[in-house]
Each structure stands twice: as C-alpha cells, then as structure tokens.
Amino acid sequence: MTSEPRKIRWGILGPGTIAKAFAGGVAHSHTGELVALGARNPGKSGLADNFPGARILDGYDALLADPDVDAIYISTPHPSHAEWAIKAAEAGKHVLCEKPMGLTAFEADAMIHAARKAGTFLGEAFMYRLHPQTAKLVELIRSGAIGEVRMVKSSFGFAMPDFMPEHRLYANDLAGGGILDVGGYPVSMARLIAGAALGKPFAEPDKVAGAAHLGQSGVDEWASALLHFPSGIVAEVCCGISLAQDNVLRILGTKGRIEVADFWYASGREGGTGEIRIIRPGGEELVEVREDRWLYAFEADAAGEAILAGKQEFAWPGMDWADSLGNLRVLDKWRAAIGLEYEIEKPEKRVNTISGRRLCSGGTTIPKREIPGLPPPASCLALGFEDFRTFSSGMILLDAYFEAGGNVFDTAYIYGSGYTETLLGQWLKNRGVREQSVVIGKGAHTPLCYPDVIGKQLTQSLDRLQTDHVDVYFMHRDDPDVPVDEFVDAMDREVRAGRIRGPFGGSNWTRERMDEAIAYAERTGKQKPGALSNNFSLAEMLVPIWPGCVTSSSDEWKAWLTARQMPNFAWSSQGRGFFTGRAGRDQRDNEELVRVWYSEKNFGRRDRAIELANRLGKSPIHVALSYVLAQPFPSVPLIGPRTLDELEDSLQALDIALSPDDIAWLDGGSDQHPARRTG
C-alpha cells in the first residue's frame, strides 16, 4: 500500500478577486490544497463561499503563525507585497507573490534576499508563463517559424467605468495605474520573446523610453514604452486602466508574423483552446493549444513542484529571480521616464523599514571604534551610496546598514549632482538618527578646487542634508597651485562656525601637502588636518583611476600613516573587482582593471589572498577588506554595496582577525604562512 504524495498546504494572504482565481487554481492542481485564509476582516460575508474548505483566520500574522500552512499566496495591493513576503520568509513560509513582486526592483531584491536567507521558495505569479501555450510560442520562435524576430508589439489595456478615486487602480497610495497592474505582462512577454530569438530564457533591453498620461490622482491611466534590445529587436508595449486596447501580441519577423489575442489568458481561466496565428505572405496558419486544466493551476503546481524539490525559484518558463528583477528594472525605467513616484514611496510615508517595522538601533554586527577628534564612536565600515535615485530605493540599504551597527555615511557635494546628500538628509530626518550618525562631507572637487568654494558648497550640502553640521569634512581634491594655508584657513573658519564638528582633511592629497598643511596649522593655532580619504587596498593602485586620485597603499604611505596615526577613510578598499573572478593574469577584457591594478606584485598579493580565503572558508574580497581593517593606524574602509546581498557579503570580512604576521605575509614581505584566525 502506497501513501499519497505530500501536498503543499496553501494559505492565502488577502482575499480578493485574484485570490479567488488562485483558490480555484489550487483546487484543480496536483500538488496543493487550500487550507487557510488570512483576512483583516474575517467576518466579511462571502469568504467561506469564495474560499471553500479554508479556515478563515483573523489577520495576516495569524496566517504566518499557522503551523499547518506551508506556503503563502500574497494577493494584497502592491505596496504591501514586500513587507509580507519578507515576514513570511522569516516565518519559514514559502511565497508565491502576485505581480508585481515589489513596487521596484529594489523591493524585489530585498524580498529575494529574505527568501535566500530563509531557504524558502519565492516566485512571482505571472500565470501565463507556466501555461503550455507560452512554451509553444517560444518553440515557434526558436524554430524560425517567422524567420528572424525584428519587433514585438503588445498591449494590455482596459477601460474602467469612470474615475473612481477610492478604487485601488486609481489610488496613489496603493500604487495604482496601468504600468504596475498590467504593464508587466507585455514587458515580460517582450523580454521572453527577445530571449527566445537568441536561444536564451529571456533578454534585457539596453534602452527604455516611456510616455504616459497621469490622471487626477497622479497615477498612469494609459502609458506606452519603447524597448530596444542589444540584438536589434524593438518592442512597443502599451497598457492602461482608462483606455481599452486591442490586447493582441504581435511578433514581427523577416518571414511573417505571429498574433496572439489576450496571451495572458492562454486557453482560458478554466481551460479551453488557445490560438496562435502565424501570418506569412503565402497565407495564414492556425496553431491551436488545447488545455483543459485551469489557468491558475499551472502556477500553483509549478510553485508546488519547486517547493517539494527543495528549489527556491521557478523553473523556466516560469520567472526565476533574475527574470523578475529584470522585469521590474524595465518598469522602474518606464516609471522614471514619466516621472511617476507614488506618494507611498516618499519619505513622509516611508516611516518603516521594508519589512514594515520601525528602525532598530544598537546593532553590533559592525563594531565601532574611536576616531581622534570625532566625538561619537564610528563604525569600522563607512557606507557610500551613489546608485540610488529615490528615497524608497535607498532606504532599504541605509536601514540594513544602520541596523547592523553602521553609522558612518560617506557623501560628497558632487555625488549624483547632489542627490546622494538629499537622500541621506531625508533618511536621517525620517528615521530620527542624526545624532547617532557620523556624516562625511566633501567639497572643492576639480575644477572648482579653490578655498573660496568650500563655504559656499558646504552651505548647499548642509541644506540638502537637513542638518547644521557635518562630522568629518574632506577637500575632495587638491590644487597644488593654491598655498595650503588658504585651504586650512577656509576649513578652520567652518570649524569655528560649528559647521564641521570633527576632523577635516584631504581626499586625494599627497603626504607632502598634508605635512605642509599640518605644519601651517600648528604654527598659526588653527585646527590642523586630522583625517585623510585616499585609496588604500591590498592591491596598490598603479595609476589613478580618475584624474587627481591618490593612493596610499605604498610602503612609504603606510609608514607615514602609522607614524602620524592618521585616520584614513579608504575608498576602493577591495580593488574594484581585482579580488574577484573579474580579474586574472589571462583576463584582459576589463580596461580599468588592467590599467589600474595589473602588476605581478599585485597578483602575488591576490594569490595569497585566495590561499588564505580558501583556508578560512571565505572569499578573497573578504581577506582584502579585512586587510584594510587590520592596519596599525585608524583605517575605515568605504564600502559601496548596491544590494542587501552585497552588504551582507562585505560584513563577512568582520569575522577575520589578521595579525601583523598575516598582514606582512599578504604584503609579500614574509615567507611565514599565516595560521587560521577568525574572530
């Protein structure tokens, strides 16, 4: 007697029309059964009828705490997807999240990070991608049924009866509009077809241009985008909630075209026959895809099969994590092109972390140290963040760094044309952590490297940062034609005015100029330069990465820094990829790496970093970062992670405790192999 195969016990988080459709899919699936429903209003009429057999639980937290639920289907409005997917992963639940996975690719990345850490499944519910009709369509493209693909045209648009401000599709705070609600369908299909033409699972466009009409509530009521792929394929995609469109997928090739109406419904919600029309100069061919299974059963089974197999992502043609991230990056660019940032994404309403909780202080993963002249203890790693252009995207990383114990933030007047300072200022005010934070400012960058611009730029920086002082300030470049006393005088004035509360110094300054500036300050009773921000790494920078850059990695520099006990906030502390697989003696494709870092001396250091990393169960970049941390002078590496995974990866270096002998061996000055040391 054989036992029946185990079934995935599904819980639905948030009742609604799409949740009801998924419940029907689970009922007709092979791998799952619906056992529970989490509802904010469990007494609402009709729930028992719409979700037969499901226990109705009071609230979403109750669903996540239910030990008889294996997997959660999230069907709440878009803004709460990230919060509940992360909480579900933390509760050990697998997640199938209705599209879009998050409001942005940054949110989706945080959700993926949580699932990866928890070892749970996370998938985005584009139901059409799992239907046999989609696989057939890809097969036709790959077989050359219409020759070489040149263009894709697709739309998903409908007309609501009227403008209804209370409806989720028009509600700004619920991220309404067409792009996030239905625009992801034609975009995902275009990326799928562009990939199929190349024999790949999907392809990413290299250019995205968009236009839209923003209605009374500020959401996109109808919108269009043009996608260009590196292969030359062009895709025109349209969507709308206030404009009915033909909703036909058209794939144009050199020998004909393919047309599919309402491709996301495939053969129908409850099964039927789907039609793919192939139109060539000689006539028309109809390819029918007969499928009796319910549309939503395919995604339920694909998720169930992945979970039962211990997988964390959908198998193709479902959308894996890279596919979901790529799709959202296109939607992000589409929204950026039309200037659509929802009110719910702005600082005033983003008062919690991505997981829906208040920001926590007191983290100890990143230890703190005393820096001469700086009153508050400073974390041993400083965070730089030039890549974010909205508060909602940047806050995810800022929150995570702070909760890990980080409190040193590296900004500059020129970064992002001032947006980096603006974003940090919004975050500091929104989170109420200015007094716990160490803010680094920089100004007087080439070509405006003059003493008289320091005060003017600092005024603008403080305005952007929404504070009356910075804690550390660097002259971002040096101008050797200007006497050092003029720079010191300008900085000293800001110290006396209380606008610089800690040390100041030079970024990309030479030892000679620093010595001269210190001597002048000591003679005249001015505050002397007390910090530096030069490149410092296990790999010595051979030529400047950018004009005016200075490295401090030579033996002479190390001796000077040690003798003066000069704090150095080290940029490019991990060699900008030199200690990763991007570099190698036979790899010459990256011009910057070859020009700046390639030398036999540096490769010897890299070899030793790899050897030590293998012993420690770490990566060479972890060894490279720990090398900077272990110097005999105050050394604070600047790290620039773009994602939570990259941040956590950097933090692994904190487990490594290098001795002076280890440092000497890595440098190449000792033949003694280091013992294994971890902190």
> Which sequence positions are flagged as catalytic?
99
Q: How far is CA 16 from CA 12, 39, 47, in A?
A: 10, 10, 9
Coil vs helix vs strand at 567: coil
SS3 of 152-182: the string is: EEEEEECECCCCCCCCCCCCHHHCCCHHHHH
Q: 493 Cβ partners below 8 Å, 6+ apart?
A: 455
Range 669-678 burial, b when 16+ CB lie within 10 A, else e: eeeeebeebe
Handedness of CA 137, 142, 146, 151 (dihedral sign): positive
The count of C-alpha atoms lying within 13 angstroms of the C-alpha of 83, restricted to the half-sphere facing its C-beta, is: 16
The answer to whether 235 and 227 are in contact (CB under 8 A) is yes
CB 420, CB 411: distance < 8 Å: yes
Write down how long the chain is. 679
User: What is the C-alpha to C-alpha distance for residues 632 and 635, in angstroms, rounded to an integer?
Assistant: 8
User: What distances in angstroms separate CA 38 from CA 97, 158, 431, 556, 658, one per listed residue?
Assistant: 15, 30, 31, 65, 51
Six-digit token string for 482: 């200007």
Q: What angle do CA 558, 561, 563 make, to 5 degrees?
A: 105
Separation CA 87–CA 449 (nearest Å): 49
Ramachandran class of 475: left when φ > 0, alpha when ψ lies in -120 to 50, beta otherwise: beta
* Residue 136 β-bridge partners: none
Structure tokens at 373: 């002249």
Q: Which amino acid is at 195?
A: G
Q: Kindly give, in sequence order, each residue whose CB lies less than 8 Å from that of residue 481, ignoring residues fewer than 6 positions away.
A: none
Enumerate residues 6+ apart whose C-beta is below 8 A from 76: 13, 14, 84, 98
